[in-house]
Structure 1
């Protein structure tokens, strides 16, 4: 198979693509892959580091207000379609898949105009603008949440789940917490606002720290590199309990997830795929800064099945956070029930299912 993949801007678009590529190469080691992204996007760092051939086009999103910059956006979009066609004709893919972000709009649209089979993958419970547009031209639309069906042509929809889930589904507990100064035998809470961190979550976790003193559980608080120095300056003036460890970043975060008894964090599609694949109870704090408030809708899909609790960012503070954590960490039966419900929602063969969709179109 010659597979061309495009998706970028955030890890939520990139990591599912990498999971699919990994699965494709497992099934057929002769698979050739080309990834098309942008120079400025996160994909320009992550994809080459994964050893995948990478090419770029230039594109940007529309401004929500009237702006001369939007004329440049239209120009770049038209040019990027032409550039995408050149890349596609040179690589000669059997199939093209887009996993979201502006960049895949040009690539998948260009492929459809060249009569090459195309698929898009929507990770969230609310469709992105690019995927809504592409759904009119693509052959299939793969989804990870049933709630998003209403946003796409029904006859094109295939439920696959999020390929990222399959990458973490079979990870086992291997006592990895000691390297972070924690006790491998003690129940553990992970507080994590995403790879870049989240200011309100970080501030609330710091405010909550005093309430974790002498608890029979421990807390791993990951701030994100951008916020770490500021958080540590504040922490130095406080009495941080010995059962709370603060780190800027955890390399390959999924590896430690089997060690975690409760996750506190955002409700991005990749995070929820990992949480449900492993069956981990969670306290979700959806980002209010995302399109169509889709993280709240993502979170509610778990909350409604008693697989997670939710705290709106506008309500978040240290007292509420520590009380919610403590209520779960002192109630093992409730955590077990949430874990079971989360696990039942997981799609642990999502990459395999998406790969099958591609194969059926070739």
Structure 2
């Protein structure tokens, strides 16, 4: 079997593809898998680290509104389509899978027009433009949130959940905390604003670090590579400084499974992949949906968890108020609430999504 997987831009589109690829390899060790990504996406770095080959094409997202950048984006879209077409022609896949991001548009479309079976995976409760368009061409549509079903042709939709990497499920809290020398007897908060970081979240967390230290609360603070230096300068942070005992600031964490396994509470954006990992481990969450994403889909994702008692949602415009600090301190000190949130979160978990997608693959290439 030969499989092409395409998706990228952020870790949220890449890691589900990696999870599916590893499940396929587990079941079919002789299978050949090729990733196709964009030249500017994180997939260029993340996919090879996971042990898979990747080829890159020139493509960028098309904005709904016509701007000065529109002609350039259209030209790149056509260029990306022909590059993808040539890669597909050379690799001769049995199936092509798109896991989100604008890069999978030309890849999945080219494969579908060649008569190759295709699957797209929609991770969000409110679908993006790329998948809405591709849904008319693709063979099957796998969804993470049942709320997204109404946006697609019903005869193609299969509810699978969001694929998560197997190592996420095999964490050990004591071992994970040992990586960063965290105390096992003190609460630990993990803050992650997505693979690119989130400036407003970073600034808000920086402001409350003195309160966390005062209340014996530990912090693993993942800033994103672009904002790490600014945060370190702002706080005058040094790992060896005793004033910051229990506070660890990192630009990026590749072993996210250990960060998730170590924490008692997570503060994060509401991308579909991080939410799938949160629920898989039953982690109580404070979610701050990004207001800068297409169709405000992160708010739909976050509300799905809050309505089920698994998370507290805070709007980004509330970060500068005391609401943010008060919610954190109140939650950390409320063990009964944390227990209920953890239980409710676990009820939402779908941990066999990769297996379900493998079954769709097997059906399509029989």
Q: Which residue of 2 aligns with 1:333?
A: 336
Alignment of 1:33-52 (within 5 A): 33-52=33-52
In 2 relative to 1, CA 246–205 (structure 1 residues): closer, same or farther, beyond 3 Å? same
Q: Which residue of 2 aligns with 1:250?
A: 253
> Please, what TM-score do these two structures have when normalized by structure 1?
0.94
Q: Which residue of 1 aligns with 2:296?
A: 293
Q: CA deviation at 1:185?
A: 2.9
Residues 212-271 of structure 1, C-alpha deviations (whole Å, 9 max, x = no match): 244253222222232222222222399956443333333312223122110011111111
Larger displacement relative to structure 2 (90-99 or 306-315): 90-99
Q: Which residue of 2 aligns with 1:159?
A: 159
Alignment of 1:87-102 (within 5 A): 87-102=87-102
Q: Is it true that 1:74 corresponds to 2:74 in the alignment?
A: yes
Q: Which residue of 2 aligns with 1:115?
A: 115
- Find the residue that maps to 1:189 and give its secondary structure: strand
- Find the residue that maps to 2:196 and give its secondary structure: coil
Instruction: State the distance in 2 between where 1:328 and 1:148 align.
Output: 31
Contact 1:181 1:245 in 2 (8 A): no
Instruction: State the distance in 1 between where 2:81 and 2:42 align.
Output: 21
> Please, what TM-score do these two structures have when normalized by structure 2?
0.93
The gaps in structure 2 that reach 5 residues or longer are none
Instruction: State the distance in 1 between where 2:248 and 2:112 align.
Output: 50
Contact 1:207 1:318 in 2 (8 A): no
Contact 1:177 1:183 in 2 (8 A): yes
In 2 relative to 1, CA 202–239 (structure 1 residues): closer, same or farther, beyond 3 Å? farther
Q: CA deviation at 1:167?
A: 4.4
Residues 274-332 of structure 1, C-alpha deviations (whole Å, 9 max, x = no match): 10010000000111110011111110000000000011001113632221111111111
Contact 1:165 1:277 in 2 (8 A): no
Give RMSD over aligned pairs: 2.1
Contact 2:10 2:196 in 1 (8 A): no
Count of residue pairs the alignment pairs up:
362
Contact 1:279 1:341 in 2 (8 A): yes
Alignment of 1:221-260 (within 5 A): 221-236=221-236, 242-260=245-263
- Find the residue that maps to 2:119 and give its secondary structure: strand
- Find the residue that maps to 1:225 and give its secondary structure: coil
